[in-house]
Amino acid sequence: MKNKDQVEGALKDIGGKIQQEVGKLTGSTKQQAKGLKTQAKGKLQKGVGDLKEAVGELKNATKG
């Protein structure tokens, strides 16, 4: 089951990719850079969510 950080991180990553592509199409390096920054934030947030999920699964496994 996905947690909030995994979902929001994935959405930020997708949004950043779109922003980067718009920047490429319009020739705006500033938009491309913003898109890359948003992607990095999204990947980081998703990674935090993945870690939270792994810790939760580990806790559940050790309880049983």
- Whole-number pLDDT of residue 58: 93
Predicted confidence (pLDDT) at residue 64 exceeds the cutoff of 70: no
Check if the beta carbon of residue 5 is closer than 8 Å to that of residue 45: yes
- Whole-number pLDDT of residue 63: 83
Residue bearing tokens 């969510």: 49
Encode pLDDT of 3-50 as tens digits: 999 999 999 999 999 999 999 999 999 999 999 999 999 999 999 999
- Whole-number pLDDT of residue 1: 77
Give the amino acid at 34: K
Taking the whole predicted model, whether its pTM rises above 0.85 is answered as yes
